[in-house]
Each structure stands twice: as C-alpha cells, then as structure tokens.
Amino acid sequence: MKRFFHPMILSGLCALTLILLVWPLSPRVQADSSSDSLGHKVSKEVLQKVSSGHGSEQVRVIIQPIGMWDTALDATVEEAGGTNVRSFQNFRLRVVTISANAAVNLAARRDVAYVSLNREVRSLGHLSATTGADQVRVTSGTNANGFDGTGIGIAVVDSGIDNAHKAFLDRSNNVRIVYNQDFTGEGRIDDPYGHGTHVAALAAGNGRISNAQYVGVAPNANILNLRVLNSQGIGTTGGVLRALDWIATNRELYNIRVVNMSLGMPAIDSYRNDPVCRAVRRLVDSGIVVFAAAGNNGADANGDRLYGHIHSPGNEPSAITVGASNTFGTDSRSDDGVASFSSRGPTRSFSVDANGIVNYDNLVKPDLVAPGNKLIQAQAANNLLVNQNPALDAGVSPVDNRKMMYLSGSSMATPVAAGVAALMLQANPTLSPNLIKALMMYTAQPLAGFNMLEQGAGQVNAAGAVKLAELVRHDLTSTTAVGEPLLTTHDLPVQETTIGNHTFTWSRGIILNYTYAAGSDLITKYQGIYRIGGVLGDGIVTGDGVVSTDPTVLSDGIVTGDHILTSNGIITGDGIPFLAVANLIGGNLLDGQLVGNGIVTGDGIVTGDGIITGDFVAIAQSATMNGDESTTMAAEPDDGFDCVDY
C-alpha cells in the first residue's frame, strides 16, 4: 500500500503512536566500547524504561544517525526485532517500533547520534481551534479537564453516514453511531451521496486521522444516523417528518438532546403552517435543541447580495438557524467574516389572510454563524459528490475509511454549532433549548461590517458558551420567577474570549424575532423566554414599529432596539442602524426592494412539491470553486496511525 508523508507530519505526530525516526547510518560500524557514553545518546525516558525493569516493552523511538542510513543498519534494526519502520522523503530518519532494550543497544553504535522516545506533541485541528472547542476539550482520555460531548446524542438528519469511517470510533474502538435508519425507501443506511458523513464528522468526528487535524467539535458524542436524503441527495418532506417523529418517540432511550438538519427547501408557507417547522417546534418544546441550515443563496450569479432566502426549517423561530462564516484558514478570529454564499434574512415565508393579502413572517435570521467555508472532514466511501467532483477529495489518505473531503456551505456550519450545544449539555444537562440558544448568542463574536440579517448575533464561540453553561443553576424550572438569579455565582464572568491570540468581546445580546435584546441581565437573571415551551422571541410587544419588553417574560435592565444593526465588531447594540424594525413588522418590506446594497427576494417559486436537498454550495465543481475561492485550506496528510489523544 502506498504511504503518504509530508514534512509537516513531524510537527504533528500523535503522542500515543510513539514514533522512532532514524538518521541514515553507514553499514559497517562498531558499537561504542563504553556504556558511559550512552547518557548523551539516549533520552532519559528510554533509559528509565530499562532501569525500571520494563526494557522488554515495545516503544516507538526516534533514531538519528551520524551519517547516511543504509541497508546494513536496516538489517541490524530488523535483527533487533524492529518493526513498522518508516522513512521520509526529505529527512534521513527512520521510525521504528522496538523494545527499549534494543533501542539502548542501537544507541551504543558509533554511527547512531541519538535515540529518543517520541515526546507528546498535540496538534489540534483548525476547526476545533478557531471555534474555541479545544479550550474545553477532554484530553488524554479523561473527563477531568473538559468536555467532549460524552453521553449526548446528536441526531443527524441527512443523507446517511459511512459507519466504517475511522472518524466515528470512540477511544475503545467502539462505533459511536448508536442507531441507523433509512427513511428514503432505498433500504440502505450508508452514505452514497456523501453529505451526511461529512456533516456528522464536523459535529462529532474524532481526531484519529492526521493527528487530530480534523477533530470535530464534540468528538465523543453519540450519533444517530437518520437517512432522509437519497443517493442523489434528494428527499421528501414526508421522509423528514418520519425521522423527526422517530426522534420524538426515542429521545429518552438514546438521550437525544441535539438534532442537526443540514438540509432545506424553499420557505414558502409561514412557519405557522409549514409541517416541518411545526414538527421542529414540537421537538424543541420537548427539550431537544434543533439546528437548521440557513441556506446558501446569499448572492446571485453576479455576486450581488440577496436578502430573504432563509430556507425551511431555518425559518422556524424555535430552531437555531446557522449561517456560514469564513475563517480564511486561520485560527485567529480577527479576520473572520460572513461567507459570501450564506443566506441572509429576513425570512420570507408567508401566509395569506381572508382578504388575499400576503403577510410575510419577516423574522431576523440567521441566529448565528459558524465556520462553513472549505472545511475538511470525513469522506464517505465511493460517494457521488466526490465521484462527480474529484477535486473535493482533500488528498489526506488513499484508504477508504480514512479519506477526507472539502465541502462548503451552511450545511457545514450547522453541525459545528450543534457540536457546541453537545458540549454545553455535557457541562450542564439541565439547559433548555431556549437557554442554549440565548447563551450561544450572548457569547458570540459580532463580526464587524456585517448586519444582523447576515450573522444574527455573531460567530459561535464554544469556549464562552460552555463557560456560561457551567455557571447556570441546575435547579431552574418552569415556575422559576422572572428576575431570579440565573447563575450559581454572584460575580459576573469576564465577557470576552481569546482564540488564536485574538481577544474579542462577547456580543452580550440575543436576537428576538424582529429585533435584539442586550444587557448583562440576560445572563445574570432568569428570563421567562428561557422556559421549555416558549420561544425566544416571545415578550416583544410591537406596534407601529415601537419595541418594548413584556415584564412577564423579560426583567428590567434589558434593552431592546428599534433597528437591525450593522455591527462595529464590539457588542450588540453598538452598531450602525441598517433597517428599521417597523419595516419588518409592518410587512412593507417588498420583494425587489433595495436594502443596503442588496435586493430583498421571496421564495415564491416552488421547484418541487415537498422536495428537500442537502444544503451545501451546490455549484462546486472543484475544491477551489466550493465556497469562497480565495481561502482553500491546505490538507494535512495522514500517516496511517490512529491518534487517540484528542
């Protein structure tokens, strides 16, 4: 089997796959006559193995030769019991599994410069780093220092999942996909289309491949594979409804706390009538948090901005609707922005009254954005997307169950946010869906220069959201009075996060149907809108465009706005007015109207009755065309070893 190596692998080798690298040696060499010289030729870890009576244990060591490595030294290593020898194109090194005793004996050779045990080097992936998930991650297989989604069930309603992919194993080699069911009628649970595997791995893929370069947000969460998109990536409303019905029935059995819906269809009917939206509301009312993709219709064929293309069920108020951000391939969040393709609000689903007048929902969506441009994650074996677009294969590995692929879209952003919710629920299982939504928005990073119809409250911040989740009281109930303490501490937490050496202030606000609310009381006092059975937009009384708070669900000290804002990158409420709330409430935001430098459109053209599709950037013909073209991430080749220290 062909091996793929890259110089950068040396900086990212997983500690638990202890690697021996050996400089080339000349063939005819003599052993050092004095063992006293070994102290400077062997690392102390190897010597301690021998001195402690564990010299027969197999280790992976790094052997550096003085001269060139040749076949005679290879023969010596083989005679000493060395196995799994690796070489590199650009380095005169060998990687060897061998006993500690044999490693010391090798160091005694005059042509060997140094023998060392491979030391721990943790290299975590771009996605987990830039979202802040690394900062709350469980490490070294324990739960003493953080969270990895353990025990939380994430239902992935998509095109199926490749159960054989390495990304879905736990640290004991058990498959974390705990349930599979097909709702397409094709009678299969794998992923011939290739969308669902990538989505599931973004939410909960492990870090086994390429030394955790592609670790998902919640890498030990349980996954439920509910296949509603067929081998062509197409499904029906009925299939989705059957899947959501199954979730409602089996949520307690599998502890399903999170549902990911990286799919959509044109939002025609008002959320009040749309059957999928109504089903989503039932799930949220039962305590399940539902994430829905915003869509990928943020620009027309000329690149001009469009407003009003939020997909169903992303138009449902109780869902957490996620748009896509662009990280430009850096861990730092100082250069992040909203991806050009990400759908913008407001929602344009509508109802028609008795007088024949069309009433648009006009809700402010999305709620949040998350990284969704050219993300690399698990590739289902022999899938249609890669077969039709070979450049989507990231070239990470030639082995089917270790392959990775590029995809862009709100489909990719949605499971990133869903994974964050799993971390929050592990930290505090008592959180309601509305409270999860509020905490994620409150801790989000406002992206400068983008308005609320593009980014909602801002970009997801896993580190901040989990930090707040841990502080929330566990004894909150539907009878808790509005204004009661929300946190277990009287001290307000520091409302900022540092990721990639960039410190940003939390948004300190939340999106409410037609406007926003801001103020520290949102996290220090219990609000009625956090209850099970409510909607985060409840409590806003509007008339003639004037917004006020309802004291039965919102306490004093919370400020609401009369404008949708363009953020200045600081906190919610400090931006520039973009659109008056009255324009949304009055229903006079017309199709074809110019808003900023974009056009408001409606989803009034039905392309298929009840047809849904996977919500990724469908125009992709190659990795460079898949998403914003200027920001292709370099793939990190896989060395074939499983990393379990993620």
CA 265, distance to chain mean position in Å, is 22
How many Cα atoms within 13 Å fall on the side-chain side of residue 592? 1
311 exposed, middle or buried (CB, 10 Å; 0-12, 13-18, 19+)? buried
- C-alpha–C-alpha distance, residues 292 and 290, integer Å: 7
What's the CA gap between 276 and 318, in Å, rounded? 12
Residues in the chain: 646
Please give, one letter per residue, the 3-state secondary structure of 335-349: CCEECCCCCCCCCCC
C-alpha distances out from residue 247 to 180, 197, 287, 321, Å:
12, 19, 12, 19
Q: Residue 506: CB partners within 8 Å, gap ≥ 6?
A: 442, 443, 444, 445, 461, 464, 495, 496, 497, 571
User: In Å, how far are 15, 140, 151, 421, 451 from 145, measured between CA atoms?
Assistant: 18, 10, 16, 18, 37
Helix (H, G, I), strand (E, B) or coil at 119: coil
DSSP letter assigned to residue 208: T
Tokens of 29: 């060499």
Q: Which of 123, 190, 191, 195 is catalytic?
A: 195
How far is 351 from 609, CA to CA, in rounded Å?
17
Report strand pairing: 256-261 vs 222-227.
unpaired
Of 562, 532, 525, nearest in space to 544 by CA: 562
Who contacts 564 (Cβ-Cβ below 8 Å, separation ≥6)? 364, 451, 452, 453, 515, 516, 577, 578, 579, 580, 581, 584
Q: Which of 343, 411, 432, 555 is catalytic?
A: 411
Query: Within a 13 Å sphere around the CA of 565, how many CA atoms are in the beta-carbon half?
Result: 26
Annotated active-site residue 411? The verdict is yes
Q: Is the N-terminal amide bond of 346 cis, ω within 30° of 0?
A: yes
Residue 376 contacts residue 404 (beta carbons within 8 Å):
yes
How far apart are the C-alpha atoms of 601 and 607, rounded to whole Å? 16
Structure tokens that stand for 351 in this block: 């109802």
Check: CB of residue 190 under 8 Å from CB of residue 103. Answer: no
| HEC secondary structure over 234-285 | EEEHHHHHHHHHHHHHHCCCCCEEEEEECEEECCCECCCCCHHHHHHHHHHH
Q: Is 170 a catalytic residue?
A: no
The answer to whether residues 458 and 576 touch, using CB atoms and an 8 Å cutoff, is: no
Is 195 considered catalytic here?
A: yes
Helix (H, G, I), strand (E, B) or coil at 574: coil
**Which residues are catalytic, by number?**
158, 195, 411
